[in-house]
């Protein structure tokens, strides 16, 4: 994620010019926005994106995907709209498997940076 913080400046010829600072994100938008369980949400979003890719590649509607996988069409609709709250990561992986994909997961554990505490 890249955020732009800037100031606008209007020149004499009425052209608006932006002066901007660019802040690079971590690669996890949920973490950048301090959303709880950022790593889990990012992982689920990646899995959902892969499901959508598989559906598009096979040109499957949600109904056709239901017939192929026995996963309810409503679930595919939720995945397509990124409504992932009711899905677990393992369920999303199972759906990918049913669509003919193999999921490989690599885990890296890092110590969390401690933020300054002001007392």
Task: Categorize the per-residue pLDDT at 18 as very low, low, confident or very high, splitting at 50, 70 and 90.
Answer: low
Question: Do residues 22 and 65 share a domain?
Answer: no
Look at the block and give the residue holding tokens 């995945």.
79
Question: Do residues 61 and 80 share a domain?
Answer: yes
- Tell me the residue range of the domain where 62 lies: 36-98
Q: What is the pLDDT of residues 59-99, one digit of tens each?
A: 999 999 999 999 999 999 999 999 999 999 999 999 999 99
Q: What is the CATH number of the domain that holds 57?
A: 1.10.260.40
Alpha carbon distance 48, 83 (integer Å) = 10
Question: Do residues 2 and 28 share a domain?
Answer: yes
pLDDT at 55: 97
* Residue 111 DSSP symbol: P
């Amino acid at each position: 994620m890249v955020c732009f913080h800037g100031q606008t400046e209007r020149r004499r010829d009425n052209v608006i010019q932006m002066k901007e600072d660019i802040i690079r994100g971590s690669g996890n938008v949920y973490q950048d926005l301090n959303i709880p369980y950022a790593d889990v949400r990012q992982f689920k979003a990646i899995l959902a994106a892969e499901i959508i890719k598989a559906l598009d590649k096979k040109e499957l509607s949600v109904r056709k995907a239901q017939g192929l996988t026995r996963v309810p069409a409503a679930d595919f609709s939720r995945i397509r709209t990124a409504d992932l709250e009711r899905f677990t990561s393992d369920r999303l992986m199972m759906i990918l498997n049913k669509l003919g994909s193999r999921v490989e997961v690599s885990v890296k554990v890092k110590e969390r940076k401690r933020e300054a505490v002001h007392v």
